[in-house]
Amino acid sequence: MSSAHHPPSALFCRRCGHALERRIPDDGDTKVRGVCPACATIHYDNPLCVVGTVPYWGAHGEQVLLCLRNIEPRKGKWTLPAGFLELGETTAQGAARETDEEAGAKIEMGPLFSLMNVARVGQVHLYHLARLTSDRFTPGIETQEARLFTEAEVPWDEIAFTTVKVTLQRYFADRRAGVLGFHTADLD
């Protein structure tokens, strides 16, 4: 994950700098927004997409790459490489960038594997499958260590985010069943 969080609602106008009013706009909207009394710009707060990969290794994909987080939140916990989708990227492009930034892993990008709503924090998490083409990693500054784990080795109680845990559980279950699917979940 990058260090960006969902910001609090804007207090000042992004276009002209005037203090905002909090009210329902006059355009038929039904929700309270930040509305600029000076230039009429309406400010929307929308959910963010978090994109990542399930990087796997081995003839049967029996090992996955996890990263030991070197930054808050959840410093010292293990995660799949993931972070906020940036403007101009597809989900696969964003997932590839995060996999490079956080693990320095060489991959062949695969299909979307999981989509999980984390509505409480205004996020949608999306993980792509990614076949590792090397088992040498060069983690970036956000990562203390990057290494491969079999299902039995995964530190299940030390996983940083629920969406990572659920995605890993689905991945190993699908591998046992012999077919990789697409999974959705709504998490708290």
Binding stretches for its own copies (CB under 8 A):
2-4, 6-8, 10-19, 27-29, 31, 41-49, 84-93, 111-112, 115, 117, 119-120, 122, 124, 126, 141-142, 182, 184, 186
Kindly state the smallest distance separating residue 117's Cβ from its own copies, in Å: 4
Kindly state the smallest distance separating residue 43's Cβ from its own copies, in Å: 8
Cβ-based nearer residue to its own copies, 115 or 148: 115
Cβ-based nearer residue to its own copies, 102 or 154: 102
Give the pair of three-digit tokens for residue 29.
């909207």
Kindly state the smallest distance separating residue 53's Cβ from its own copies, in Å: 15
What three-state secondary structure class fits 76? coil
Cβ-based nearer residue to its own copies, 46 or 60: 46
Cβ-based nearer residue to its own copies, 48 or 148: 48
Please, which residues bridge with residue 78 across strands? Answer: 68, 159
The shares of helix, strand and coil residues in the chain, as percent rounded to the nearest 5, are: 20, 35, 45
Contact 116, 99 (CB under 8 A): no
Tell me how far the alpha carbon of residue 109 is from its chain's centroid.
16
CA–CA separation, 135 vs 110, rounded Å?
A: 17
DSSP symbol at 73 = S
CA–CA separation, 35 vs 39, rounded Å?
A: 9
Cβ-based nearer residue to its own copies, 121 or 173: 121
Kindly state the smallest distance separating residue 3's Cβ from its own copies, in Å: 6
Kindly state the smallest distance separating residue 156's Cβ from its own copies, in Å: 25
